[in-house]
Amino acid sequence: MTSHPLAYAARAARFRPSGVRSVFDIAMRPGMISLAGGSPDLSVLPREQVAELAAGMIRGAGPDALQYQPAQGLDGTIEAIREVMRAEGVDAAHDRIQVTAGSQMGLQVLTTLLADPGDTVIAEAPTYVGALSVFGGLEARVAQVEIDEHGMLPDALEATIARVRATGSRIPFLYTVPTFGNPSGASMSAARREAVVELCRREGILIVEDNPYGMLAFDDEHRLPLYARDPENVVYLGSFSKIFSPGVRVGWLAAPPELRGRVQLAVEAMTIHASVVGQVLAQRFITETDWRGHVRRSADVYHARRDALMAALDEHMPPGTTWTRPHGGFFTVVTLPPGTPVDGLLDAAIDARVVYVPGSEFMADGSRADTLRLAYSFEPEHRLAEGARRLGEAIRALG
């Protein structure tokens, strides 16, 4: 035993267990159906081909894949990233791309560089729980803006900006997941995109656009990233996690070159650079496989799963329950009817061998306890149906 208790820094108290990660272990229990984590389905991946890529990465690139490399990222990886962005209608110059150890790190670094303690980040209500943990860890406040099925409401955004500024708190940036949002599944319409970009430009507020799901559409609508509309005032966060593999831990950001350079310095202090084996594997996946076909097949899988989950919710949720109907991505948010008991619901669901993430995790103030985030990305259709059945049972058992 240590003879003196460890004295933590004040900021240590800001790192709390996230609801998503806490249920990660639970989701691994035998017999458990997980509607919790946002894991992609990797069964569609051409495994033998990826195995050959991995071997070729060592044989071909040789020691380079195993050595220290430039902190911006490998040139070849940056070019592969540019190809991915072009598929979404975005042309970003090489010197605007910074490779990160996942886009979580991109957001961590941006917030470190842009938000002083006490500043107020604006985000959607609800928003990505991992973003809230970054903001909290760096002592930024969060103001969340109402959304509907077409994403953030520009009027509500304008009102929030005014309200925050009236408190004297500075707004370092707007954080948004405009396409197939996490957790809502909602996407900004083209009109909303234009309005939000225009409003932020006028108000002098930088936009941080997080776009891990943008390519996983269930329809043919092209949802042009905000970055393409105003590359000088939007920072784009991208990721290989949902179109290839989360395990490589490779993401990127696109930003004006001066900001990109500062991001590189912070990345160096944090982890020197992203995993090179991860970078080379992701790069080879883009340059040497039919990656667009893989993304299309993945989206088809998620599309069918969304349908299976929606049908099962229709069948098993209590009357008056509502949920979002996303046109892409991984998630829906379920809102229980008014008056439904929610205390103990997660425990009851786990007892019934189904796990989800409480909606309150996606609100900085812990509100919205009457909502649940359900992921349809990972479980096959029959298990999604059974999960919805178990969830309905758990809700009724508490009622």
- Least distance (Å) from a second copy to the CB of residue 318? 32
| Residue numbers 169-188 binding a second copy by CB under 8 A | 170, 172
**Choices 105-113, 320-328, 333-341, 352-360; region in contact with a second copy by CB under 8 A:** 105-113
- One of 23, 33, 92, 105 touching a second copy (CB under 8 A): 105
Told to check if 194 binds a second copy by CB under 8 A, we report no
CA 375 – CA 157 distance, rounded (Å)? 27
Q: Which is nearer to a second copy, 105 or 349 (CB)?
A: 105
CA 75 – CA 94 distance, rounded (Å)? 8
- Least distance (Å) from a second copy to the CB of residue 321? 29
Please say whether the beta carbons of 100 and 253 come within 8 A: yes
Told to check if 93 binds a second copy by CB under 8 A, we report no
Please say whether the beta carbons of 21 and 33 come within 8 A: no
Told to check if 270 binds a second copy by CB under 8 A, we report yes
Dig out the tokens for 302 from the structure: 């998620």
- One of 35, 134, 216, 395 touching a second copy (CB under 8 A): 134
Told to check if 304 binds a second copy by CB under 8 A, we report no
Closest CA to 44 of 297, 300, 307: 297
User: Which H helix or E strand runs over 58?
Assistant: helix 47-61
- The SS3 of residue 9 is coil
- Least distance (Å) from a second copy to the CB of residue 195? 17
Residue at 50: amino acid letter: V
Told to check if 102 binds a second copy by CB under 8 A, we report yes
| Residue numbers 325-384 binding a second copy by CB under 8 A | none
- One of 186, 206, 215, 313 touching a second copy (CB under 8 A): 206
- Least distance (Å) from a second copy to the CB of residue 140? 9
Binding residue count for a second copy, defined by CB under 8 A:
93
For the chain, give me the number of helices (H) and strands (E)? 13, 14
CA 16 to chain CA mean position, Å = 18
- Least distance (Å) from a second copy to the CB of residue 334? 23
Question: What is the end-to-end Cα distance of the chain in Å, rounded?
Answer: 47
- Least distance (Å) from a second copy to the CB of residue 397? 30
CA 51 – CA 41 distance, rounded (Å)? 17
- Least distance (Å) from a second copy to the CB of residue 23? 12
Closest CA to 32 of 390, 398, 399: 390
Dig out the tokens for 399 from the structure: 């009622």
**Choices 147-155, 238-246, 312-320, 337-345; region in contact with a second copy by CB under 8 A:** 238-246
CA 340 – CA 350 distance, rounded (Å)? 18
- One of 119, 209, 370, 379 touching a second copy (CB under 8 A): 119
Told to check if 26 binds a second copy by CB under 8 A, we report no
| Residue numbers 32-61 binding a second copy by CB under 8 A | 37, 39-40, 42-43, 45, 47-48, 50-52, 54-59
Task: Report the interhelical angle of 19-27 vs 129-137 (nearest 10°).
Answer: 130
